[in-house]
Amino acid sequence: MDADNTHSPGLIRAMTRRIHEGADVVIASRFRPGADVAGVPLHRRLLSRWASWLFMAFFPIHGVRDYTCGFRAYRGPVLRDAFERYGEEFIDQDGFQCMVDILLKLRRLDVIFAEVPMILRYDRKSGASKMNVLRTTTGTLWLMARRRLGR
């Protein structure tokens, strides 16, 4: 979860409940019924929605709509299995696109994904975003191209 007051710790209970119900990975999603965003600039909302559609088209994962959110819960054995399969390459991306890459790698395993609706409170963020939008967008597009080519 982000530590900038934009993610509610109250979601942890719902996320762990989904883990106890059988999910292996639970994502706090901006794209589920009941989700909302406050204070996010329009261009960022459109970019996030566009990325979601693009990933769902090229890398469909049952139960996942929000590929870029980093507020997640993982069942421990899933991470252990991923590190056993991928080794140091499991987390080998710099920047924010590492979150996308983790999902793309986990989709190759026998993993059950789920999401819970999140209210993203960007209006509570005290400082400017540290994310370079252009760098993150181009890095993520390159990652998508490499993963589509099997690399």
Neighbouring C-beta atoms of residue 21, cutoff 10 Å:
10
Interval 98-144: pLDDT, tens:
999 999 999 999 999 999 999 999 888 877 777 788 888 888 999 99
Domain spans, the chain: 11-148
Can you tell me the mean pLDDT for 14-26?
A: 98
Q: What value does the mean pLDDT of the chain take? A: 93
What is the distance between the alpha carbons of residues 49 and 52, in angstroms, rounded to a whole number? 5
Question: What's the pLDDT band for 58 if we cut at 50, 70, 90?
Answer: very high
Whether 96 shows a pLDDT value over 90: the answer reads: no
pLDDT of residue 3: 78
Query: Coil, strand, or helix at residue 17?
Result: helix
Of 90, 111, 108, the C-alpha closest to 99 is 90
C-alpha distances in Å from residue 133, one per residue of 30, 47, 48, 96, 111: 18, 9, 11, 10, 30
**pLDDT (0 to 100) of residue 6:** 86
Identify the pLDDT of residue 126. Answer: 79
